[in-house]
Amino acid sequence: MADGLPPKKVNFGTISKSMVFWLLIALLSIAFYQMVSSARRDQVKISYSIFSRELDNDNISRVEITSGRFVEGQFKRAVTIDGVAATHFNVLLPIENSEGLIQRLESKGVIIEAKEPKPSIGAVFLQLLPWMVLIGLWLFFFRQVQQGGNRAFAFGKSRAKPLTAETPKVTFNDVAGCDEAKVELQEIIEFLRDPQKFQRLGGRLPKGVLLVGPPGTGKTLLARAVAGEAGRPFFSMSGSDFVEMFVGVGAARVRDLFDTGKAHAPCIIFIDEIDAVGRHRGAGLGGGHDEREQTLNQLLVEMDGFESNEGVILIAATNRPDVLDPALLRPGRFDRQIVVDMPDVRGREAILRVHARRIPLADDVRLDVIARATPGLAGADLANIVNEAALLAARRNKSKVDMQDFEDAKDKVMLGIERKSLVLSEEERRLTAYHEAGHALVSVRIPGLDPVHKVTIVPRGRALGITFSLPEEDRHNYTKEYILGRLAMAYGGRVAEELVFGPDKITTGAAQDIEQATEMARRMVTQFGMSEVVGPIAVGDREQQIFLGREITQRREVSEKTAELVDAEVKRILQDAYQRARNILEGDMETLHRMARALLERETLDREEIELIAAGKELPARAPAGAAAAGQSAAQPEAEKVRAPKVGPVLGTPPAKPAEA
């Protein structure tokens, strides 16, 4: 075929609709016939009184009685009723005909006939209903078999969906932030378009390309772009579409998939989430003969077995390459493994520009600023920020999306939605302000840490407040000095609570901070080799539950002595970080109080305001809207419940838990 797709089949859906139409026509014809046959043009409906009078006048020649009450008859002489001369009549008896009525009719010489009731349209429909159901089921199964969709007759048919003209076309112009992956895939497309260019030097068509990367980085989008650029038949399906409860179905679908590909070669087959079918063999608890392993074995044979599959390129995507079977990853099956990693700052800006093409932007929008403020976000997160900004602008009845909409959307995606319904007492609000001020002040006083981007006591997500830091540039490695500074910053909130309110007034708000600090310190000792006592070795945890695709077990990594040494070193690092934070705050209590008061007044402080407070300078007045909001917040009575603070992804204060926690 010119388009590389399977030939068009007979549309049995249209045939079945036509049969239903003609069946309805037949039923209506039967009903119409009954109406015509049961009513003559010269027959009128009369009352029982007229019937009894004409019977007494000896003017009735014959009657037909149906169901004991419905009487149709003929007059001897025409009778004028309502201006119509009628020779035939019908009447409904008030009660079923009695012996007295029969005697009256016989005494007048009337010919009497008894008839069975005529079948109604409902009765006819009930008689035809079983045949209609059988014919409908036959048409349904026949249609499904033709389309390969009915599992009762087509278990082994693959569920691969061909790319059609109705599918929205995606090209490489719609993909950004992964230039290296685009180059590798562009070469595949050129190979499909002009194989002689590569084969003249002895090159062969790659058999498989594996896209590896974290969720949301654009692996499936890249595959759709390949489909849009290649101009060749393209079939896509998910790894979970192979395996079902029936034995042998997965292997049969793999064979059918590659048979379809060979029939339309050269073509591309895309399998999303291939780890659903490509996990390590031998990992199942039920032995090595389960359905998934049979499916994987068939996939291995089809990709590189005795029979060649020239012209069929398999593109697969996964975010779990560690669980894939080694036989699946070797050259000859997946010749290329393309890493689609998190985008850098230039990639994030390019992704934002791709998604922002569909929305009207105001003149003050700077996507480069948004890109620098979103480190660690994947392409899906950035697309969500652009979409949220457009929704916010529409909600605010704006004609264009401005920078404030992007800032609010970024905060919503990265920090969580504002919890305006959550209220705190003034005491809780004041405690949260000092907690977040402690985080921020320790971060400012320790050199080398990421600048504090925002401090807020407006609740977001699950926390009551947040101190959010942003790096000035993307980090790929972290120094020991930086990690120790982060540990001290993590304890800044707890130390501030203790210094201002006393040891007995500390709260559960530091639970997440302590958990993150403990995890970071343990990784320093056990993975990063940043402990002089333990040394530069990876000792692992004391006990682990392991699932590597081959086994599920629990094993001991280190001796008891080494485990005790690791625990002692982790505790020492955390105590040093706690004391470092305490020394910073004890020596700068005035700045801590000023920052907390500013948070209580303004609720949110940005980087410039934090730096002014840390330098001992006065804060400038805010814009009218912000000043009004701050004045309104400050004017509330102290005993009144106030709107609570925010939360974020870095250091936040989670809401207080019940007493039993």
Is residue 660 flagged as an active site residue?
Answer: no
Residue 70's beta-bridge partner residues?
66, 92
Secondary structure (DSSP) of 382-450: HHHHHHHHHHHHHHTT-SSB-HHHHHHHHHHHHH--B-TT-EE-HHHHHHHHHHHHHHHHHHHHSTTSP
H or E segment to which residue 266 belongs: none
Determine which one of 229, 388, 418, 436 is catalytic.
Answer: 436
Long-range contacts made by residues 467-473, C-beta under 8 angstroms, separation at least 24?
A: 467/436, 467/439, 467/440, 467/443, 467/493, 467/648, 467/650, 467/651, 467/652, 468/414, 468/415, 468/648, 468/649, 468/650, 468/651, 469/443, 469/650, 469/651, 470/372, 470/373, 470/375, 471/375, 472/372, 473/345
3-state helix, strand, coil in the chain (%, to 5): 50, 15, 35
**Torsion region of 16: left, alpha or beta (phi above 0 gives left; psi -120 to 50 gives alpha):** alpha
Q: Give the 3-state secondary structure of residue 162.
A: strand
> In whole angstroms, what is the distance from residue 123 CA to residue 126 CA?
5
H or E segment to which residue 268 belongs: strand 267-272
H-assigned helices in 38-92: 48-56
593: which residues sit within 8 A by CB, 6+ positions away?
A: none
H or E segment to which residue 121 belongs: helix 121-147
Q: Give the 3-state secondary structure of residue 567.
A: helix
Strand ranges for 53-185 from DSSP E = 60-66, 70-81, 84-92, 111-115, 161-162
Peptide bond into 536 cis (omega under 30): no
Secondary structure (DSSP) of 387-405: HHHHHHHHHTT-SSB-HHH
Q: Which two tokens stand for residue 521?
A: 């310190």
CB burial of residue 288 (10 Å; 0-12, 13-18, 19+) = exposed
Residue 652's beta-bridge partner residues?
466
Classify residue 324 by its DSSP letter. Answer: B
Instruction: Measure CA of the first residue to CA of the last residue in the chain; give whole Å.
Output: 68
Say how many C-beta atoms besides its own lie within 10 A of residue 399's C-beta: 9
Say how many C-beta atoms besides its own lie within 10 A of residue 332's C-beta: 11
H or E segment to which residue 12 belongs: helix 12-37
Residue 592's beta-bridge partner residues?
none
Q: Which two tokens stand for residue 110?
A: 């009337």
> In whole angstroms, what is the distance from residue 194 CA to residue 3 CA?
17
Classify residue 213 by its DSSP letter. Answer: -
Active site residues: 436
